[in-house]
Amino acid sequence: MSATIATMEKATGAMSAAELASARHSRETVGDFTTANPRMTCRDVDVWYGSKQAIKGVSLDIGKNEVVSMIGPSGCGKSTFLRSLNRMNDTIVGCRVTGSIKLDGQEIYDKGLDPVPLRARVGMVFQKPNPFPKSIYENVAYGSRIHGLTNNKAELDGLVESSLQKAGLWNEVKDRLDQPGTGLSGGQQQRLCIARTIAVSPEVILMDEPCSALDPIATAIIEELIDELRQNYSIAIVTHSMQQAARVSQRTAYFHLGDLIEVGETNQIFTNPQHKLTEDYITGRFG
């Protein structure tokens, strides 16, 4: 809890209630958007689609070994923000990103920075499971093949196995690695996509509503997996399910019409949000 009465008791009189009230309704981000051990730091990020501004001055850190969830109503820009973190927005015509997004202190929108290796460092899992229409083995091996991560077949086999194991899929598919990845169930496909992503050893994994096409059991398996992956990766997840955000993430950011309204510890956001918009959204009230 960032604002406790205990701290207030030490320093009363900093701000009047009226001042606080007016601050609450400006679009300044409420809460602390920094984190102790950041991997990605975003400052004053604006994203434009042509003349339309989709993201307005968002600052947010993604820390090491933490899951940051991004919630908000449809069209609030959370997916746009996520996609600007590995420059997937580059493929969209008329999309511009300004401000600073750094990965381990390195500006990712630098002119000289190649987005192709960046996307190997910042992997992405998409809303709809999208395995390649190739075998399970090839799906996982593909990233290593194009980046030349392994030297021989044995190493590649090892990488495929360890990636599938980390994704919790190995036991289910080890006997049918040559079968098409598209023949798996939805939840298995999504885990295959996660295995494919972690096969290139990214530092950050972005997940864009990874469970929205899955049934509750498959969702639970993925959530469990996300919690395990946290040990080794930084994870940013966009989700429509507030329960999911509450379950999997350590910090939660609430987006509204392109603004980052509030960010904070997940516990605090879900028990005591500071901003009225956040509260209205997560309690399901009329805007």
Partner 1 sequence: MNNPAPTQSGATPRRTIDIVNASLKRRYAQERRFRLVGVFAVALGLAFVVLLFTDIISKGYTAFQQTYIRLPVTLSQDIIDPTGTRDLNAISGANYNKLIRDALRQQFPEVTDRRELRQIYAMLSIGAPQLLREQVMADPGLIGTTQEIWVLADDEIDMLIKGNIDRHAAQSDRQVSDETIAWVSRLEQQGRIAKHFNTIFFTHGTSREPELAGIAGALMGSFYTLLLTLVLSFPIGVGAALYLEEFAPKNRWTDLIEVNVNNLAAVPSIVFGLLGLAVFIGFFGVQRSTPLVAALVMTIMTLPTIIIASRVALKSVPPSIREAALGIGASPLQTQFHHVLPLALPGMLTGAIIGMARALGETAPLLMIGMIAFIVDIPHGFNDSATVLPVQIYLWADSPERAFVERTSAAIIVLLAFLFLMNLAAVLLRRKFERRW
Partner 2 sequence: MNAIPPKPTIDLATGHTVRRYDEELAKLRGIIIDIGQRVVEQTQAAVIALIEREESFAYRVLDREPLIDYLSLDADEEVFRMITRRQPTAVDLRIVLALSKIASEAERAGDKVVRIARQVLELLGLDIATELLPDGLKTLMLELDDKACSMFDRSIHAVDSFDVTLSLAIFEDEPKLYHASNEVRRLLGESSQEQMTPRQTVGLLTIAHALERIGNHATTIAEQVIYVALGQDVRFRNREILIDTLRHHGY
Task: Catalog residues that contact partner 2 under the rule CB under 8 A.
Answer: 1-5, 7-9, 11-18, 20-21, 24, 242-243, 246, 269-274, 278-280, 282-286
**Lookup result for tokens 């001055």:** 57
Q: How far is the CB of 215 from partner 1 (least distance, A)?
A: 20
What DSSP letter does each residue of 92-147 carry, written as one string? STTEEEEEEEEETTEETT-TT--HHHHHHHEEEE-SS----SSBHHHHHHHHHHHH
Identify the burial level of 213 via C-beta atoms within 10 angstroms of its C-beta, where 0-12 means exposed, 13-18 middle and 19 or more buried.
middle
- Judged by beta carbon distances under 5 to 8 A according to partner kind, the member of partner 1, partner 2, none in contact with residue 92 is none
- Judged by beta carbon distances under 5 to 8 A according to partner kind, the member of partner 1, partner 2, none in contact with residue 285 is partner 2
187 binds partner 1 (CB under 8 A): no
Nearer to partner 2, 98 or 272 (CB): 272
132 binds partner 1 (CB under 8 A): yes
213 binds partner 1 (CB under 8 A): no
Specify the pairing of strand 95-103 against strand 67-71.
Answer: unpaired
Each residue 33-72 as x (binds partner 1 by CB under 8 A) or -, in order, gives ----------------------------------------
Q: Which of 68, 67, 65, 103 is nearest to 84 (CA)?
A: 103
How many C-beta neighbours within 10 Å does residue 182 have? 16
Q: How far apart are CA 2 and CA 10, in angstroms?
A: 14
- Per CB under 8 A, residues contacting partner 1 are 86, 88, 91, 93, 116-120, 123-126, 128, 130-134, 142-143, 146-147, 180, 182, 193, 196-197, 199-200
